[in-house]
Amino acid sequence: MSLQLTDDSRLRHLLTVDGLPRKLIEELLDVADSMRSVALRGNKKLPLLRGRTIINLFFE
């Protein structure tokens, strides 16, 4: 099992696609494709993310 997945096979975090099942990678790409329309529209607020904290961390 991948360290990125919880015991019930839910994605905990995404650091690499190595070790992830193909089906999960395809689902992630499908979600990204559907989010493209949100990124291109004027109002980018999503009720889906209300009450959640999203953090991007980049380091070298």
Ordered DSSP codes for the chain:
--TTB-TTS-B---S-STT--HHHHHHHHHHHHHHHHHHHSS----GGGTT---------
To the nearest whole percent, how much of the chain has pLDDT over 90? 7
pTM exceeds 0.85: no
pLDDT at residue 26 tops 70 = yes
43 or 23, higher pLDDT: 23
Mean of pLDDT values over 10-28? 82
Q: What is the mean pLDDT of the chain?
A: 80
Residue 45 has pLDDT above 80, yes or no: no
